[in-house]
Amino acid sequence: MIVEYINAALEKAKYEIIHDEEPFYGEVPVLKGVWASGKTLEECRRNLGETLEGWIVLRLKKGLNIPPIGNIRIEEPRVMGTIDKINASVLETAC
């Protein structure tokens, strides 16, 4: 699911040449703040993929929404109930 999301985002990426040590610049306009650069277009694209991966992990850790790309979605995993909701007799049996 994450690989499909990254690939879909990279298909939406826009690239340009800038005056910099790493002249290739790429961003995913639908994902504010997701950008990367590189010495070649391929390096820029690879860096952008790594940036996307880190961006996804950070948003999941912080519980932030990840906007869909087309029909591809990444949703925060559902967490099971807390320990205080578990039947105490089950815990006593396990010990």
Q: Using one digit for the tens of pLDDT, what is the confidence trace for 14-73?
A: 999 999 999 999 999 999 999 999 999 999 999 999 999 999 999 999 999 999 999 999
Is the confidence at residue 89, as pLDDT, over 80?
A: no
pLDDT of residue 34: 97
Domain ranges of the chain: 2-77
So what CATH class is 2-77? alpha beta
pLDDT of residue 75: 81
**Residue owning tokens 């985002």:** 9
